């Protein structure tokens, strides 16, 4: 335990081991545990900078130096390869605006210029960049400065004083039952079709499904076991007849990954383009994997499953995210229709005649 209380003296101690270096210090009397924890974080940060060959004062820390020596190693060790690659891209995009500047000298106006540039910059496909994309990019910059504040390199996070682009974040699209057969019939990639059908049958996230191996599946019990990507919980997913048909057909494929990308042979792949083209062929708005997860949840509730069961199937630890996935027009229609039926069944009101 890094911080502990000496019951005899009533004083706190800091004691920890960082990269083979042992540290122990007795703090002054009268300090609280919260004060001791803050000092422990500061000491660890100072030792980490010194071990990376950085000056202990850190008053002249530039953006690019902190990014290379602290932030990117932190992301590489604590986040997925996709997040690490995305962080590198955003850091490169921010260099023309922040390179050579002291971390303490970077102001909200600098972040505002970066935001306006990214908002006006077209994507690699020549389309306007969506506000949600800019918000995600700003969140990466914000994490850099939050880490700097934690290490007492900055006094505050300048990203917190920049207004984020406004956009409609309501996601309520689902795959209608009448469009389902045509959607899958017009998806030319068998691999993409299998991935989409599995998501619609199990509610799994695409990353969890793409990384699924044959060792995680019990075909006799018709279940699969995995560690959920976001929550890191061990869960057991039941497989219906459609899911088992797909798994049994792909069982003969080479390799441990059942849904490996046909282009790379790895768990890295995307079905977005195949889904967009299939939607265009049948004349419906484009849908995504999240829309299929939302369809799975909506149909579960319509078929009588309770919200706790649906949340567990989606891999959520609470019910807080359920409203984001479940936007059922059918349920709302049933509710409003029931009100009309109830009103029609009411007895006729007796009029009181006033003489």
Does the residue 350 lie in any domain?
Answer: no
Residue 295 · residue 175 · CB < 8 Å: yes
For residue 170, give the nearest of 2, 336, 342, 294 by alpha carbon. 294
Helix axes 81-98, 131-150, angle to 10 degrees: 80
The enclosing domain of 123 has a CATH number of: 1.10.150.130
Q: Is 289 helix (H, G, I), strand (E, B) or coil?
A: helix
Among the candidates 161, 195, 217, a domain finishes at 161
Does the residue 354 lie in any domain?
Answer: no
pLDDT the model gives residue 351: 46
Does the residue 344 lie in any domain?
Answer: no
Query: In terms of domains, do 205 and 323 share one?
Result: yes
Query: In terms of domains, do 156 and 298 share one?
Result: no
Query: In terms of domains, do 90 and 136 share one?
Result: yes
Q: Write the DSSP assignment of 156-209 as a string of letters.
A: S-GGGGSPPPP----------HHHHHHHHHT---HHHHHHHHHHHHH---HHHH
Query: In terms of domains, do 236 and 314 share one?
Result: yes
Does the residue 197 lie in any domain?
Answer: yes
Ramachandran angles phi, psi of 288, nearest 5°: -125, 180
Among the candidates 136, 161, 186, a domain finishes at 161
Burial of 131 (0-12, 13-18, 19+ CB in 10 A): middle
pLDDT the model gives residue 118: 93
Domain holding 128, by residue range, is: 63-161
Does the residue 149 lie in any domain?
Answer: yes
Query: In terms of domains, do 75 and 211 share one?
Result: no
Query: In terms of domains, do 119 and 192 share one?
Result: no
CA separation for the pair 48, 27 (Å, rounded): 21
For residue 249, give the nearest of 290, 197, 203 by alpha carbon. 197
Residue 33 · residue 3 · CB < 8 Å: yes
Does the residue 353 lie in any domain?
Answer: no
The enclosing domain of 302 has a CATH number of: 1.10.443.10
Does the residue 57 lie in any domain?
Answer: no
Query: In terms of domains, do 185 and 307 share one?
Result: yes
CB atoms under 10 Å from CB of 200, counted, come to 22
Q: How many domains does the chain have?
A: 3
pLDDT the model gives residue 254: 80
Placement of tokens 């699209």 in the chain: 173
Q: Tens-digit pLDDT profile for the chain (355 aa)? A: 578 788 778 888 788 777 766 777 778 887 888 888 888 887 777 777 666 655 544 556 899 999 998 999 999 888 878 889 999 999 999 999 999 898 988 999 999 999 999 999 998 888 888 898 999 999 999 999 999 988 878 888 999 999 998 876 666 788 988 999 999 999 999 999 999 999 999 988 888 888 889 899 999 999 998 877 555 678 888 899 999 999 999 998 888 889 988 888 888 888 999 999 999 999 999 999 989 998 998 888 888 888 888 887 887 777 776 666 555 555 566 667 777 655 566 565 554 555 4
Among the candidates 131, 161, 191, a domain finishes at 161
Does the residue 263 lie in any domain?
Answer: yes
């Amino acid at each position: 335990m890094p911080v502990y209380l000496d019951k005899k003296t009533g004083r706190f101690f800091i004691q920890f081991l960082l990269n083979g270096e042992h540290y122990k210090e007795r703090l002054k009397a009268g300090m609280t545990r919260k004060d001791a924890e803050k000092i422990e974080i500061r000491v660890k940060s100072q030792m980490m900078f010194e071990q990376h060959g950085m000056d202990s004062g850190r008053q002249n820390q530039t953006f690019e130096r902190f990014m290379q020596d602290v932030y990117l190693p932190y992301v590489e060790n604590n986040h997925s390869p996709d997040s690490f690659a995305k962080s590198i891209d955003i850091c490169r995009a921010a260099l023309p605006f922040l390179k050579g500047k002291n971390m303490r000298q970077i102001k909200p106006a600098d972040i505002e210029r970066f935001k306006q540039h990214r908002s006006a910059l077209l994507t690699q496909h020549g389309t306007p960049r969506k506000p949600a994309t800019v918000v995600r990019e700003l969140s990466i910059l914000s994490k850099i400065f939050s880490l700097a504040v934690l290490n007492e390199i900055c006094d505050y996070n300048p990203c917190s004083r920049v207004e984020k682009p406004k956009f409609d974040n309501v996601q309520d699209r689902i795959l209608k039952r009448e469009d389902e057969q045509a959607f899958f019939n017009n998806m030319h990639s068998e691999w993409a079709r299998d991935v989409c059908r599995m998501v619609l049958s199990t509610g799994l996230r695409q990353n969890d499904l793409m990384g699924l191996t044959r060792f995680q599946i019990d075909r006799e019990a018709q279940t699969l076991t995995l560690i959920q990507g976001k929550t890191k919980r061990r869960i057991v997913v039941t497989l219906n007849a459609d899911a088992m048909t797909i798994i049994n057909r792909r069982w003969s494929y080479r390799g441990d990954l059942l849904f490996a990308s046909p282009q790379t042979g790895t768990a890295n792949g995307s079905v977005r383009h195949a889904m967009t083209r299939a939607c265009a062929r049948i004349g419906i708005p484009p849908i995504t994997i999240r829309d299929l997860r939302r369809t799975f949840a909506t149909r579960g509730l319509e078929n009588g499953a309770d919200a706790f069961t649906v949340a567990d199937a989606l891999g959520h630890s609470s019910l807080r995210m359920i409203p984001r996935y479940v936007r059922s027009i059918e349920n709302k229609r049933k509710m409003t229709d029931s009100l009309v039926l109830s009103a029609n069944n009411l007895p006729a009101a007796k009029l009181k005649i006033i003489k």
